[in-house]
Structure 1
């Protein structure tokens, strides 16, 4: 949804509230006329009990109507605001689910969280508080100006005489407000992003003793935010004072013109009093309008931010294909870069045969994980194509593709819920028995069973209560439960201790039975029996074959194997020294 459509949708939510607010304003003006009429009765000595009762009853009635309709209008405005808030957030979450992973990898988590929380919250503030006041403060001056013209057209002209100057000045002020508010909003977002990052990375900050440096950076961002708050206050308050001065000129002109008309006998005292009341109401209403108008600018900026999510086009939603099944995975002349940067893959062509064990090796940045991301459909292929079973993955429904491919990554994320629920993510309808069976195959059941609460143990945010190896095995249990025909292991044992690595290797043996397995390898000794090993370098595939073949034909693979042997020898030597 674009900015214009979203803004229109938001601003038309308060139609019911507007009607009640209009009645409230009219009731207030009617009260003013009745008060002036009552004063006139006393001045002209035409007062009577009946007239006082009539005026008093009318004043009470209109004041009650003003209060009641204002309360109902405010309630309707808040109801519309919170409904809109919920609708927009639900729409955003629904839209985010449709976007490719590439969208999230390009955006900061703090930025997206700030939009969903802070920017959407501005819509509630606008609908519930600003818009009703803006409508009232626009309607009231219009009605008072018309009433003034009805009293005497010369007084009406005197009242609005400074108005053209004020409009021109207002345009200048709005540009100034827009520029300053834009920077203020940006400062707010930056502070929010830094705070989220600061809190989420606290373990690393503490571990590397960089708390003073990081805290200083966050405090610096906060000071910048406070500086912009002060600038906003100055930018808003000074122009408002100037507008008030211009409007006071209109009030002064009404006094001068009215006094002249009274002296010449063209205006009665009671009309003059009413004119002064209306002139004061006119100027105070416009001042209130100006003070609320910056909410329009804030809303505009918030809508622009929201539109960066809702305006992002999701990939085509292809229909589900029940006949779609596994098969060979092929990359044909694939060239790919992240956001126009240096090419991560360059004319890569390769095939992973169905139900075979495959490995991809290469230095960091050689393109190993990029191949996995493209097979998973996380990024759209720029040049060439990726097929599964002969079908281009670009034309496969997202749900179908997810059902075909599973991935176990080095950095496993667990949700802050029970172990059972984290495993059940693999298949939502799985029974407790099926969850336990998957855990047994993943070599994690014994550990879970020894916990006081077993499978009902809460893992903490991100699985903080579990070790890296335990989280990996829970992730493998998920994949076993999902039972997808294609498994990608993205350096799953790269940072795991030997005990957990042994258990994970056993779990992966169970996982890979009758599957197409693609291992992004870190330890070469784990993939020597693979049916195919792909060697990547600088985004290109430079060799492919079995372990023995590559040792004879690929110098780079020979170097990698030799380096692995040196690492293994160093680890053994270090262990011997420890136990000596």
Structure 2
């Protein structure tokens, strides 16, 4: 079955029907007291009403007012209940859908953009469904009920009142075409300003570290000034057309007053009928004139749905069924090619095999394609050509869940959630016992540090693990991977940014993590991979050599050059320490 995660205007309008029916009843009941009052005035003027009739009619008016309020209250309750359900539903569905999307999607879309959609645009749907749609129903229903009532009371007065309605809809249709582009531009400008603001707040530490406050702040403020200037121009450009639209909407009341006055002069209607018609006509025009405002809300709602669908309409990258029988084995690349776009290939005709339970390393200059190979194994991207197999099975046929079970990655930047150390470790294995957690922490060389903290494993680590050092976060990440116990471990520059004291502990932790596992290390520090069973040397997206450390020293000029350059860097670093 084809999965369709997109949302539409009609599906929400259908689901809001109970609320709109209740509000229709409320509006209809609300017209009755006006008609009764005018009837009472007519009877009083002709001295045809008794005290008993006044009490009865007054009671009916009171009942109508109470019923009107009750039905209106029920309508608002249903509208808000429905709107908040939709808000929660969309956010939950979006989060679930985002989890299914490929890594490439998140590289193409800005975090600020996605945050703005999940927060602002989803809020706009709630605002429209809870407030806009009920008010639109009122703004359309009251004029309809009044027009029908006047047509029944006196066809001439009814036709006079609605005489300008066709002109209003014709003009509104033309106006919508003229301002649609402006509202689209307004939505995009609002979105961009929100994205820039989120990006600015997120990068304040970097801005301060590099003394770029004034430049970045000026750029943000300039963008906001441009936005405000454009909004002012747009407001001016649509104000006069909107004013003329309002005049047309109120024109029916003017026509009604003229026609009614003529009929009253010729004694074709009585004063009471004329006064009632003017009162109803005033309500008609006043309510009808609100439609452009609610139409504006409708445009914003549709723009919000379009932004939501720009995420929900993206097809999931991997929809394969979970298969717990899939096991780890050799990882084989067959003629694999990859490019982020058609202009430049990142990987070119890659053929390699990572044997089960072997220790492998990929080395090469920055940009040679090392990390891209890791991303392909993790399923973050799909190869542009060729095939990648795990234990003989094409990974494009393996579900994301199974691939995540088989392969884990330890990256240079370890990410921790703002919760306790124990909760962060349980991400590796939800059902882990406390004993298993402690054992994993010991293997990761982090248990003693945890126990030195006042709250031990219950210590909250802060946002992104802010309360811990880089080495401590890295070892917690390794403990998490030990609990997860994936058969394939990718080490992506895992020790490149760690001090020597932490590096020693992390190496011991990695040794414990890698027992009876297939290890794939991506490294710049070549001294960390010389004991690997197999080393792949990459240059410009190609594998230009592979073998053990000793074999490559004999057969690969590039590898030998890299080793010599590494030795020079290490010697220089030692001299710097001695001289200091």
The Cα offsets for residues 385-443 of structure 1, whole Å up to 9 and x where unpaired, read as 11100001111122111111010011111100111211221111111111111111111
CA distance in 1, matches of 2:143, 2:234: 27
Q: Any gaps of 5 or more consecutive residues in structure 2?
A: none
CA distance in 1, matches of 2:390, 2:5: 38
Which residue among 532, 548, 556 is the counterpart of 2:558? 556
The offset of 1:230, in angstroms, is 3.5
CA distance in 1, matches of 2:50, 2:233: 58
CA distance in 1, matches of 2:62, 2:549: 95
The Cα offsets for residues 228-256 of structure 1, whole Å up to 9 and x where unpaired, read as 54456546644432122112322111111
CA distance in 1, matches of 2:6, 2:500: 58
Q: Is the 8 A contact 1:3 1:304 kept in 2?
A: no
Helix, strand or coil for the counterpart of 2:289?
A: helix
Which structure 2 residues correspond to residues 133-282 of structure 1 after superposition, within 5 A? 133-231=135-233, 233-234=235-236, 237-282=239-284
CA distance in 2, matches of 1:382, 1:393: 14
CA distance in 2, matches of 1:236, 1:27: 36
Which structure 2 residues correspond to residues 295-314 of structure 1 after superposition, within 5 A? 295-314=297-316
The Cα offsets for residues 260-287 of structure 1, whole Å up to 9 and x where unpaired, read as 1122222222211121112112111111
Q: 1:211 to 1:387 in 2, by over 3 A?
A: same
Say whether residues 1:118 and 2:117 are aligned partners: no
Q: Is the 8 A contact 2:5 2:312 kept in 1?
A: no
Helix, strand or coil for the counterpart of 2:431?
A: coil
What TM-score, normalized to structure 1? 0.96
CA distance in 2, matches of 1:118, 1:107: 16
CA distance in 2, matches of 1:214, 1:283: 50
CA distance in 1, matches of 2:289, 2:490: 64
The offset of 1:48, in angstroms, is 2.0
CA distance in 2, matches of 1:4, 1:454: 45
CA distance in 2, matches of 1:55, 1:323: 78
Q: Is the 8 A contact 2:488 2:519 kept in 1?
A: yes
Helix, strand or coil for the counterpart of 1:126?
A: helix
Q: Which moved more, 1:489-498 or 1:448-457?
A: 448-457
Which structure 2 residues correspond to residues 274-423 of structure 1 after superposition, within 5 A? 274-423=276-425
Q: 1:531 to 1:467 in 2, by over 3 A?
A: same
Say whether residues 1:545 and 2:563 are aligned partners: no
Q: 1:254 to 1:231 in 2, by over 3 A?
A: same
Q: 1:3 to 1:507 in 2, by over 3 A?
A: closer
CA distance in 1, matches of 2:126, 2:230: 23
Q: Is the 8 A contact 2:337 2:349 kept in 1?
A: yes
Helix, strand or coil for the counterpart of 1:343?
A: coil
CA distance in 2, matches of 1:308, 1:321: 31
CA distance in 2, matches of 1:235, 1:468: 55
Helix, strand or coil for the counterpart of 1:535?
A: strand
The offset of 1:210, in angstroms, is 1.1
Q: 1:147 to 1:121 in 2, by over 3 A?
A: same
Q: 1:91 to 1:481 in 2, by over 3 A?
A: same
The offset of 1:292, in angstroms, is 1.2
Q: 1:437 to 1:2 in 2, by over 3 A?
A: closer
Q: Is the 8 A contact 1:176 1:235 kept in 2?
A: no
2:94 aligned residue: 92
CA distance in 2, matches of 1:210, 1:32: 66
Q: Which moved more, 1:220-229 or 1:98-107?
A: 220-229
Q: Is the 8 A contact 2:100 2:318 kept in 1?
A: no
Q: Is the 8 A contact 1:244 1:283 kept in 2?
A: no
Q: 1:326 to 1:4 in 2, by over 3 A?
A: closer
CA distance in 1, matches of 2:424, 2:226: 41
Which residue among 426, 429, 432 is the counterpart of 1:430? 432
Q: Is the 8 A contact 1:486 1:516 kept in 2?
A: yes
The Cα offsets for residues 422-479 of structure 1, whole Å up to 9 and x where unpaired, read as 1221111111111111111111112212112211111110011111111111111111
Q: Which moved more, 1:170-179 or 1:73-82?
A: 170-179
Q: Is the 8 A contact 1:489 1:520 kept in 2?
A: yes
CA distance in 1, matches of 2:264, 2:85: 54
CA RMSD of aligned residues (A): 1.7
2:131 aligned residue: 129
Q: 1:435 to 1:3 in 2, by over 3 A?
A: closer
CA distance in 1, matches of 2:41, 2:552: 105
CA distance in 2, matches of 1:236, 1:67: 36
Q: Is the 8 A contact 2:6 2:312 kept in 1?
A: no
Q: Is the 8 A contact 2:339 2:345 kept in 1?
A: yes
Q: Say how many residue pairs are matched.
A: 578
CA distance in 1, matches of 2:479, 2:523: 20
The offset of 1:102, in angstroms, is 2.1
